[in-house]
Amino acid sequence: MPIDLTKRLIKPETDSGELECFLSSSFGTSGQTEPDRVVHGSQVAIEYSKKKKIKKIEWLDDAATGRADKLVQDADVALYGDFGKEIAQRFFFAGKSIQGVMRIRDDFQIAPLPDESPRPKFLAADHPGLLEFSFRKSSHNPIEHYRREAREQELKLVLRAILGPGFTSRSKYLKHEWVHVKTNGNLTSEYCQIGYLPGDLWKTKDGPGFSVNDTWQTVEKISSESYYAMYGGGDKRNFVVPDTFEQSYEMFNSLLEDDRGQFLRSAHWYKTSSEVFHSSRSLAYAVLVFALEALMPPAQEGDECETCGIPKRDSIGQRFQAFLDTYCSGLPKDKIKEFASMRSKYVHGGSLMLSDAEATGFCFSAPLNAERDHFGVLQHVCHIALLNWLHDRANS
């Protein structure tokens, strides 16, 4: 008879991802023979609800109750034990050179890389920088890895949402591309893995474990009005942040769990739009719409239709316009209508941007220019809407 471990393993503070990580790494093998049931090591079965949440956890071998008790004890230590914090080092890229340091308490730090680290040879490029952040340690290595990765992903999404295109990061998925390689003066091609290796990093650390260097200057802050203008900070040669950065970051930390998840989903789509831009302009546009719609409230039922008696609901287009009216109040009405119209064309596959549908080459035309401008404006609008939604929700 299986032993129900659900209440012993799942607590109000349990992170289901961490628990799944613990269980799957505690046994040699895992398998799934049913759509909503996973078995680890022929010992533990996890049953999932239709909403993909953990519904039940069972120990299958009732002759080994001692091992079941040991599993619960190990889980308590690994998931909830206090083993302090550690500082992780990762990399990010900015549209401008990172020359200064920015520290938010013992939470995270942005800093320059050593002079010996590889850098682009021109200004309009991805300039590498160092991102250091704290995460909770665990007695269980896979959980520690999970926490480090989860914190990195969340932090990079938040920084992208606040800083916009000035902050980018590479996909977490490995990717290869054909690249030009110059050997002995001859240009050839190789299929290479995309990645960045900075070489040796800073050796001097402070008490919590962040890198320190006496020569670093503080990252410059400029007015939020200038930073969030359409091409704000364009006259700055180095990486800068808005003077409201700390305020926006603290507002994110103050969000309730559901609002936090909603904001991160939108930030994911906002970031993804730039990643797919060189594959398809139409897809990049549609993904920006996804980012906006992730923040929109659900449709509300209104009066019943006089003919069929079914409650009326605003169309998605109407709600899209209403959302932009609220969170981008300075946007002209005709521009909002234009976005709503284009949304329907690209999201539902009824049309493609000219740059996707035609071989444009070096063509310079009014329609293509208008298309580029249109995308740039929507990208900017999406960024401003994300921030305004964040500030509005945090203050509500």
Shared-domain flag, residues 189 and 291: no
Are the CB atoms for 140 and 132 separated by under 8 Å? no
Shared-domain flag, residues 272 and 367: yes
Q: Would you tell me how many other CB atoms lie within 10 Å of the CB of residue 246? A: 15
Shared-domain flag, residues 215 and 127: yes
| Residue 58 within any structural domain of the chain | yes
User: Which two three-digit tokens encode residue 382?
Assistant: 């999406």
Are the CB atoms for 172 and 153 separated by under 8 Å? yes
Cβ within 8 Å of residue 318, ≥6 positions away: none
Structural domain ending residue among the three candidates 80, 112, 133: 80
Does residue 313 have a pLDDT over 80?
no
| Residue 250 within any structural domain of the chain | no
In the chain, how many domains are there? 3
**Span of 2-11, 86-95, 226-235 with lowest mean pLDDT:** 226-235
Q: What confidence score (pLDDT) does residue 224 get?
A: 92
Q: Sheet containing 108-111: which strands, arranged edge to edge?
A: 85-94, 127-136, 108-111, 100-104, 217-218
Q: Radius of gyration (Cα) for the chain, nearest Å?
A: 25
How far is 18 from 78, CA to CA, in rounded Å? 9
Task: Give the CA count within 13 Å in the CB-facing half-sphere of 65.
Answer: 5
Shared-domain flag, residues 99 and 49: no
Q: What confidence score (pLDDT) does residue 302 get?
A: 56
Are the CB atoms for 263 and 270 separated by under 8 Å? no
Shared-domain flag, residues 199 and 155: yes
Shared-domain flag, residues 163 and 264: no
Q: What is the mean pLDDT of the chain?
A: 88
| Residue 42 within any structural domain of the chain | yes
Cα torsion at 34, 40, 46, 47 (round to 10°)?
0
Shared-domain flag, residues 105 and 134: yes
Are the CB atoms for 114 and 200 separated by under 8 Å? yes
Q: Tell me the β-bridge partners of 354.
A: none
Shared-domain flag, residues 367 and 292: yes
pLDDT tens, position by position, 23-54: 999 998 899 978 899 999 889 999 999 988 99
| Residue 384 within any structural domain of the chain | yes
SS3 198: coil
Q: What confidence score (pLDDT) does residue 234 get?
A: 58
Q: What's this model's pTM, rounded to 2 decimal places?
A: 0.89
Backbone angles phi, psi at 227, to 5 degrees: -65, -45
Q: Give the pLDDT band (50/70/90) at residue 305.
A: low
pLDDT tens, position by position, 354-393: 778 776 556 667 777 777 888 888 899 999 999 999 999 9
Name the residue type at position 82.
Answer: D
Structural domain ending residue among the three candidates 28, 62, 80: 80
DSSP symbols for 62-124: TT-HHHHHHHHHHHHHHHH----EEEEEEEEEESSB--EEEEETTTEEEEPPPTTS---SSSS
Shared-domain flag, residues 226 and 284: no
Does residue 349 have a pLDDT over 90?
no
Does residue 196 have a pLDDT over 60?
yes
Backbone angles phi, psi at 194, to 5 degrees: -75, 135
Structural domain ending residue among the three candidates 242, 264, 284: 242
| Residue 248 within any structural domain of the chain | no
265: left (phi over 0), alpha (psi -120 to 50) or beta: alpha
| Residue 199 within any structural domain of the chain | yes
Cβ within 8 Å of residue 119, ≥6 positions away: 97, 113, 127, 128
Beta strands 217-218 and 100-104, pairing class: parallel
How far is 255 from 265, CA to CA, in rounded Å? 14
Q: What is the mean pLDDT of residues 53-63?
A: 89
Domain holding 18, by residue range, is: 3-80
Nearest one of 241, 19, 252 to 138, comparing CA atoms: 19
Shared-domain flag, residues 57 and 8: yes
Name the residue type at position 180.
Answer: H
**Span of 11-25, 58-72, 240-254 with lowest mean pLDDT:** 58-72
Does residue 232 have a pLDDT over 70?
no
Q: What is the mean pLDDT of residues 105-115?
A: 97
| Residue 383 within any structural domain of the chain | yes
Shared-domain flag, residues 75 and 206: no
| Residue 247 within any structural domain of the chain | no
Q: What confidence score (pLDDT) does residue 365 get?
A: 74
Shared-domain flag, residues 140 and 112: yes
H/E/C letters for each residue in 117-179?
CCCCCCCCCCEEEEEEEEEECCCCHHHHHHHHHHHHHHHHHHHHHHHHHHCECCCCCCCEEEE
Q: What confidence score (pLDDT) does residue 237 get?
A: 83
Residue 333 class from Cβ within 10 Å (0-12 exposed, 13-18 middle, 19+ buried)?
A: exposed
Q: What is the mean pLDDT of residues 177-189?
A: 90
